[in-house]
């Protein structure tokens, strides 16, 4: 492992390659054990060469963004975590077109396009993930989805080739795209927005922000909606009707404000969260015959 870390640090710099890095600092749940190696590349070539080094030593790796839809088990991640994050967050605007790297946070991207009087991304201003994660899972809120604004994405394939995929070939649907199945790593995306009034755009973003604060437990660490929306139902309503609002296991709790959110009310372990997820699934299934499926991705050593 030492020789791998040394090679990676020669490539990226010492501060961009960490060892035994606690994942609770890289997920919005604020839980999770350490990753053996944590890598923060700054461009395509660093991504490509980092992966080549890891493959040379047969070290498995996981690609993450902001960790806003991620639950890392308490024993952590064996192998490497490669973060497409703040070091890959450049944004360029040309008229109604936006060219952005996958590591830019949606909140920052939304603010930047608003400053440039571009409308269409207001729905994403409160989503706590990166552009890469949002495009990969077709994130959406308040009637908008990423497929409404995406033109194309640039990815790195398993064969280490750069490829541009138009939006119509991404098979975007509810919280789904072809990217995970094909093991594509999103590097950049092109968005098309519309010219609008800057004050109107900012007012809409402020309005949506207020709605979020009223309805969602934003003061607590979470991964947003814990469960996918079952066909014909709302997960939060099912959990609430099962009498689980406020249900607590360890430091995990079904939010009293919005039952669709499982939150970390203080020093929760990932196991607390997983136990609470399983409890909700069992209770809802017994009462309504509906099996809730997690929206959050669960990774790490069991």
Catalytic site residue from 75, 175, 204, 212: 175
**Please, which residues have CB within 8 angstroms of residue 236's CB and are 6 or more apart in sequence?**
225, 258, 259, 260, 261
pLDDT tens per residue across span 137-179: 999 888 899 999 999 999 999 999 999 999 999 999 888 899 9
pLDDT tens digit sequence for 230-264: 999 999 999 999 999 999 999 999 999 999 999 99
Ordered structural domains, the chain, with CATH:
2-83 (3.30.43.10), 88-215 (3.30.465.10), 235-299 (3.90.78.10)
Residue 149, token pair as written in the block: 């604004």
**Residue 235 is inside which H or E element, if any?**
helix 235-241
Instruction: Say what the pTM is.
Output: 0.93
Inter-residue contact 292 to 246 (CB < 8 Å): no
Question: Hey, is 178 helix, strand or coil?
Answer: coil
Task: Give dist(CA 131, CA 67) in Å, integer.
Answer: 12
Active site residue 175: yes
**Residue 295: active-site member:** yes
């Amino acid at each position: 492992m030492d020789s791998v870390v040394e090679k990676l640090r020669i490539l990226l710099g010492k501060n961009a390659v960490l060892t035994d890095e606690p994942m609770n600092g890289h997920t919005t749940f604020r839980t999770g054990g350490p990753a053996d190696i944590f890598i923060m590349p700054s461009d395509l070539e660093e991504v490509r060469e980092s992966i080549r080094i890891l493959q040379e030593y047969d070290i498995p790796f996981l690609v993450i963004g902001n960790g806003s839809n991620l639950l890392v088990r308490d024993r952590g991640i064996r192998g490497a975590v490669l973060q497409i994050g703040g070091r890959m967050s450049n944004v360029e605007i040309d008229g109604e077109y936006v060219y952005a790297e996958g590591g830019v946070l949606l909140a920052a991207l939304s603010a930047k396009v608003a400053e440039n009087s571009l409308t269409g991304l207001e729905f994403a201003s409160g989503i706590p993930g990166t552009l890469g994660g949002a495009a990969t899972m077709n994130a959406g809120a308040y009637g908008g989805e990423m497929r409404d604004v995406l033109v194309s994405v640039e990815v790195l394939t398993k064969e280490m080739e750069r490829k541009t995929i138009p939006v119509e070939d991404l098979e975007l649907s509810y919280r789904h795209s072809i990217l995970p199945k094909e093991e594509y790593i999103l590097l950049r995306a092109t968005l098309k927005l519309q010219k609008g009034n800057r004050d109107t755009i900012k007012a809409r973003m402020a309005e949506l922000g207020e709605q979020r604060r009223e309805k969602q437990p934003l003061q607590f660490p979470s991964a947003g909606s814990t469960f996918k929306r079952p066909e014909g139902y709302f997960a939060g309503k099912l959990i609430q009707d099962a009498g689980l609002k406020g249900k607590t296991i360890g430091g995990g709790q079904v939010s009293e404000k919005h039952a669709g959110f499982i939150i970390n009310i203080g020093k929760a372990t990932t196991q607390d969260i997983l136990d609470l997820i399983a409890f909700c699934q069992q209770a809802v299934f017994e009462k309504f015959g509906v099996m809730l499926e997690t929206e959050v991705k669960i990774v790490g050593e069991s």
